[in-house]
Every structure is written in C-alpha cells, then in structure tokens.
C-alpha cells in the first residue's frame, strides 16, 4: 500500500512516480482526495484555502496527467476525478475548486478522445462518509432523501465510465437539481446556496 499526503509536494511526487511506472501500470485512477473548510470566504485562513486548491486542483492535474500519459501509450485506462454537485453552485472555494475539476476533466477527455483513455468527472451530492464529520459540519438538518449510498454511487459511476461519459451525476435526484440550477437565474441560485450552506455545509 502506498501512503501519501497530497497536500505536500513530496506526496504528490510519490504518487506521480507510481502512476508513471510502465512496468507496473495502473489501469484505473480515482482522484478522490479532498476536504472541506468550515467557514465563509475570509473566515478561513489563506493557508487552508491554498491547501484545498493544492489537493483539489494541483494534485488532480498532476496525477491525472501522469496516469493518462502512461495509459495513452497502452491505449487503455480510465481516470475518475471526484468533483461534486457543488461545482454548479457559486459558493466559496470548495465549489470553485470542484468546478475546476469538472472543466479540466471534460476538456482533457475531449483532447484524449479516440486514444483509449477515458476521463470522467464524478459529481455526487451528499454521501454517507466521514467528510462532513471531519470538516466539523453538522448534518442533522439534511433531509434523508438527499443522502446517497456510497456502494450504489460507485456502481453507477463505473457504469457511466464504461459508457464513455465525461461527466457523471449518478442519481436522478441530483440530476434534476443540477438541471434546475442551470435554468434558474444565477443570483437566485447564489442566494439559495448561501442559505443551504449555512444549514448543511458543502456537498
């Protein structure tokens, strides 16, 4: 097992080296490392904001690139970059970093079309993991229908990857919500996300 802290240069470089190993190739990379900061803009320290960007953006860029280069030589392989439905909501550094993941992955997927390498951005909603607890965010007010089962989420995501999708929102409930967000005025979405964020935290 390889352990690495992706908020540190040494950790990213260690995983890059593993993904670039042609003798022991990796066929599927899932960039799932991430965290949330509790607090609004200017309430979170700059050091924590920059650490989030390093994990959510720099690490994703570098590890995806290392894996994809090796996969393209073999003409097979897949990369799943875990984003969030928060990518479609104008709210803070977390949502902005996940929006970057979506845009980067979709663009890279187009550039690698026909190479045998599949890239997909995965955008789940609330999933029952340790994410919110570790971020110190309460979830008591989150309606039960908004929670997703992790195992079912993984199954749906892998099916979307096999279908060649560059973007996966693997649940009808969240597909409907993101569709409504795209249609609603940007200002209204921003106000609604601010209210939801105070109650639920990022998802």
Q: Is pLDDT of 186 > 80?
A: no
57-68 tens-digit pLDDT: 999 999 999 999
Whether 203 has a pLDDT exceeding 50, the answer reads no
Q: What pLDDT, on the 0 to 100 scale, is given for residue 188?
A: 43
Q: Is the pLDDT at 21 greater than 70, yes or no? A: yes
Domains, the chain, ordered by start: 9-200 (3.40.50.720)
Q: Per-residue confidence at 33, pLDDT binned at 50, 70, 90? A: very high
Choosing from 41, 94, 174, 200, the catalytic residue is: 94
Q: Please give the residue that has the higher pLDDT: either 173 or 188.
A: 173
Token pair of 194 as six digits: 């601010």
Q: Which residues contact 156 (CB under 8 A, 6 or more apart)?
A: 168, 170, 171
131 neighbors 36 (Cβ within 8 angstroms): yes
Q: Rounded to 10 degrees, what is the CA torsion of 178, 155, 165, 77? A: 140
Catalytic residue list contains 200: no
Cβ partners under 8 Å of residue 89, min gap 6: 95, 181, 189, 190, 193
């Amino acid at each position: 097992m390889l352990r690495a802290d992706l908020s540190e240069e040494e950790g990213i470089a260690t995983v890059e080296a593993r993904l670039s190993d042609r003798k022991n190739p990796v066929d599927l990379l899932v960039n799932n490392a991430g965290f949330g900061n509790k607090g609004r803009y200017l309430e979170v320290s700059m050091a924590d904001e920059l650490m989030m960007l390093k994990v959510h953006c720099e690490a994703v860029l570098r590890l995806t690139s290392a894996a994809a280069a090796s996969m393209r030589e073999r003409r097979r392989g897949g990369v799943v970059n875990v984003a969030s439905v928060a990518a479609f909501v104008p709210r803070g550094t977390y949502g902005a970093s996940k929006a970057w993941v979506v845009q980067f992955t979709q663009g890279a997927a187009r550039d690698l079309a026909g190479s045998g390498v599949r890239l997909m951005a995965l955008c789940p909603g609330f999933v029952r993991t340790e994410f919110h607890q570790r971020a110190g965010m309460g979830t008591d007010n989150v309606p039960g229908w908004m929670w997703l089962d992790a195992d079912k989420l993984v199954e749906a995501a892998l099916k979307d990857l096999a279908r060649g999708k560059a973007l996966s929102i693997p649940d009808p409930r969240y597909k409907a919500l993101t569709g409504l967000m795209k249609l609603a005025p940007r200002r209204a979405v921003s106000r609604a996300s601010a209210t939801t964020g105070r109650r639920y935290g990022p998802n």
